[in-house]
């Protein structure tokens, strides 16, 4: 893989090992250059007071940090990321200065102990992937605390000294070669580069994030394995889950780049496929997932989840696309409850990216036959019979498709 700058375009050319493996030869993906100057503070906006007051942080995991930075088992790695994400979410969601100060003390303790700054590369699982999570979350945390003016220059320096040794692992490819990992590291570099106002780091992150786009776009409407995952059994990782976990970091990075001023980043194109086309193709698959797509219905998981959906609609999208995303999210979050814990994206993405769930208030005087009516009506909706008898019947009861789906789960 090689990178070069050509005029106003960042051109990424990826040489596939074989045309059969990736189904293309020497694809070129052109991206707009970063704006000048960059408004770094826009990369992510902390939730407003009204939003964060209703944000429910997940219950902290039973996790105790030790002073030993090296980790060899995936369970500890994931628990560390989940716990740290919970610290950041709790800090954002609380209105108590005392609680925030307590959380700050704990986060600074992680930094002072250099927790995870030197990952154990002997593990079969990727500690670099976990590092990318900690870096992105710390960038969010600094931005959040800057807004409140509750982080001193010395405290920022303590956090910076913790993160700095991690950056070389993010830029490298050891334990960091898969497309989803490259995108995740790219996001981490962009986020940290933004909060430290380091244009070179932001640019490096953008280049690295974009390395994953050829796989994602080429696999759109034609799911396939990443080259780096060749040989992984489908029973361990379905093609749907592999595509979706790469999509998660691609969307997160694209939204950050949007916020930094590249307004047309979702129009990034390879051959005849654009990123926005890939997303719009994928949303109906999430809405009606095949059984092997385990992440489609999960809110609480490390990276088998659709926690990228609140990130995607944190900026304005087309009316039809936004409506479908909202529908999927409302189906997943029971009656508007905030219950995301998408660990690989920082945890409670609905909170971190200010998604407001739509409450589904079911009528209290429904007749006993309402579920049967809804069952029949849902079949008609699925067949596209919008004027069907049962649809009309449930409409008279004050129910729509989302409400019927909610009622059927009760």
Instruction: Give the model confidence (pLDDT) of 330-386 as tens digits.
Output: 878 754 555 678 999 998 898 899 886 555 556 778 898 999 999 998 888 777 777
CA distance 261 to 110: 33
Q: Residue 48: its pLDDT value, please?
A: 75
CA distance 86 to 24: 41
Q: Residue 332: its pLDDT value, please?
A: 81
pLDDT at 21 over 60: no
Give domain limits for the chain.
2-286+319-324, 370-408
Query: What's the predicted TM-score (pTM) here?
Result: 0.81
- Which residue is it, tokens 């700058």? 5
Mean pLDDT of 46-59: 62
Q: Which of 16-25, 302-311, 389-398 is the least confident region?
A: 16-25
What average pLDDT does the chain have? 84
Q: What's the token pair of residue 174? A: 């050891």
CA distance 205 to 223: 26
Higher pLDDT residue, 212 or 5?
212
Q: Residue 7: its pLDDT value, please?
A: 32
CA distance 14 to 30: 12
Residue 29: asked if its preceding bond is cis (omega within 30°), the reply is no
**In which band, very low, low, confident or very high, does the pLDDT at 118 lie, cut at 50, 70 and 90?**
confident
| CATH fold of the domain at 2-286+319-324 | Glycosyltransferase (1.50.10)
Percentage of the chain modeled with pLDDT above 70: 82
Q: Is 212 helix (H, G, I), strand (E, B) or coil?
A: coil
E strand or H helix at 267: none
């Amino acid at each position: 893989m090689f990178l070069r700058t050509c005029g106003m375009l960042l051109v990424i050319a990826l040489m596939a090992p074989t045309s059969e493996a990736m189904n293309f030869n020497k694809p070129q993906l052109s991206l707009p250059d970063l704006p000048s100057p960059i408004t770094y503070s826009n990369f992510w906006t902390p939730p407003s007071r009204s939003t964060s007051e209703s944000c429910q942080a997940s219950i902290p995991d039973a996790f105790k940090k030790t002073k030993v930075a090296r980790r060899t088992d995936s369970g500890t790695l994931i628990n560390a990321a989940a716990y740290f994400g919970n610290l950041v979410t709790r800090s954002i969601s609380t209105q108590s200065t005392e609680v925030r100060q307590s959380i700050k003390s704990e986060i600074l303790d992680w930094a002072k102990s250099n927790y995870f700054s030197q990952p154990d590369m002997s593990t079969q699982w990727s500690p670099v992937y976990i590092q990318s999570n900690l870096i992105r979350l710390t960038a969010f945390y600094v931005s959040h605390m800057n807004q409140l003016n509750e982080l001193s220059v010395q405290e920022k320096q303590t956090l910076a000294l913790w993160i700095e040794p991690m950056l070389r692992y993010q830029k490298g490819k050891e334990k960091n070669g898969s497309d989803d990992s490259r995108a995740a590291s790219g996001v981490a570099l962009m986020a940290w580069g933004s909060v430290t106002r380091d244009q070179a780091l932001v640019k490096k992150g953008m280049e690295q994030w974009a390395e994953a786009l050829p796989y994602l776009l080429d696999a759109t409407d034609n799911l396939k394995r990443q080259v780096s995952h060749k040989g992984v059994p489908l029973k361990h990782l379905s093609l749907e889950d592999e595509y979706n976990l790469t999509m998660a970091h691609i969307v997160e990075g694209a939204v950050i780049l949007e916020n930094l001023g590249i307004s047309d980043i979702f129009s990034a194109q390879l051959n005849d496929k654009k990123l926005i086309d890939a997303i719009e193709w994928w949303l109906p698959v999430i809405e009606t997932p095949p059984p092997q797509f385990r992440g489609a219905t999960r809110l609480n998981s490390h990276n088998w989840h659709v926690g990228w959906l609140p990130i995607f609609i944190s900026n304005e999208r087309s009316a039809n696309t936004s409506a479908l995303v909202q529908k999927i999210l409302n189906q997943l979050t029971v009656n508007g409850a905030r219950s995301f814990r998408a660990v690989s994206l920082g945890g409670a993405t609905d909170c971190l990216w200010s998604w407001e769930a739509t409450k589904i208030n079911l009528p209290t005087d429904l007749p006993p036959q309402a579920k049967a009516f809804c069952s029949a009506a849902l079949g008609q909706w699925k067949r596209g019979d919008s004027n069907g008898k049962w649809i009309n019947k449930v409409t008279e009861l004050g129910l729509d498709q989302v409400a019927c789906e909610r009622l059927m789960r009760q």
